[in-house]
Structure 1
């Protein structure tokens, strides 16, 4: 069988919420030659009044619609799948992440990189990381799920900040200055690494810069997820400007 002319190494099928405007350009920014990203939008009504009470319900709706996006992207015959939405991969801890992967695999027959397990793999690649601080665009109820997941994986979340964005599209409007202020609040001698979750929060380049001035791993979930997808497929290309993870590991 012939090879795809542009995606001669791998075709990645990427599922992301239809409200998400950051994950697609982020993944394309990290894409090496011969790998192509094929974006399938998970139908997501944009909510303008997201709250602590409604966040989980909204995220679960995205999760429920994910399998339709998987079926859609499968028509281009991708080699591998990448999940461009992180919240659903943290629900119900490690077992919830495994259950989500199993559901996608049942529909597609393909392996998938998801944000939660990709962050764990990234933290383990750096090594020596036990105590985390977490930054999210979410609401506190969702940060609790993130902390539970990392606890299952052997980490301790020392503190976290939920930026409490009021709409799904509003997440992409959080400024670098706001993220920097949050990183400064999260950092401390009791933290080995900082993890940013929420794929519509633009943090790949900022996290790379923050590693330099904080002197510790700062993991942007989009960088971790795409790094995981590349390495899972034996693609060891180093990508400059997107953090130590893609440059060293």
Structure 2
């Protein structure tokens, strides 16, 4: 018998306990009959994050992923969605695949994660030359750049906001993000990607597609879109950009 509310799909979502954006983002993009069940990865709110400490902090979060997987699997989800993106870019394409495969082995169900979902979204748009924005530090942006280049994209430029704590990522106001998108844009860029799931960009990215006239891909939109389509859910949703309305 299908779940009464999740009769089309039950998604288990994994996210850092400090993340306050990914859950409401995913919830507002839920079609009827799809439910999301959140498992929090215990994450102390690292203060005074620096270039030196960012990778170590992200790795500490990654170490809690399997415990979160075991917890959420008790509700018998059909599929998993990764609500943290940084660690899914580490180690290039091989690292992304190894991360996905490790979670899937533990869970026994498939996973959508930010890195691989971003690749699928960019390919769907037909974009090759990209720019990207993150709340990270340069050490992490280098990992994201390496991943995209290994996937065959030309990274024209990137920006990192260097947010001082995990919760501070969710405090970046839209006017700052608008200016950063303008800095990244140019005739040499086919598409702009935003990474960092605690950065609130779903609605802003959709609007930016209209005033920049090109794809602007928010990581939460790409990951959720990837999960829906992987499960045969083809609903076209308005207000979240062309990825969900057209593809």
Scaled by the length of structure 1, the TM-score of the pair is 0.99
Cross-structure match for 1:239:
237
Question: Does 1:35 pair with 2:42?
Answer: no
SS at match of 1:26: helix
Question: Does 1:89 pair with 2:88?
Answer: yes
Cross-structure match for 2:132:
134
C-alpha distance in 1, partners of 2:41/2:155?
30
Deviations 1:65-104 (A, max 9, x none): 0110000000000000000000010000000000001110
Q: What residue ranges of structure 1 are gaps of 5+ in the alignment?
A: none
The 5-angstrom pairing of residues 59-138 of structure 1 reads 59-127=58-126, 129-138=127-136
Cross-structure match for 1:163:
161
Aligned residue pair count: 247
| CA RMSD, 1 decimal | 0.4
Deviation at 1:106, TM superposition (A): 1.3
Cross-structure match for 2:144:
146
SS at match of 1:53: helix
Cross-structure match for 1:10:
9
C-alpha distance in 1, partners of 2:130/2:143?
14
SS at match of 1:102: helix
C-alpha distance in 1, partners of 2:166/2:212?
29
Cross-structure match for 1:21:
20
Deviations 1:48-81 (A, max 9, x none): 1100000000001111101100000000000000
Scaled by the length of structure 2, the TM-score of the pair is 0.99
Spell out structure 1 runs of 4+ moving beyond 2 A: none
SS at match of 2:145: helix
Cross-structure match for 1:217:
215
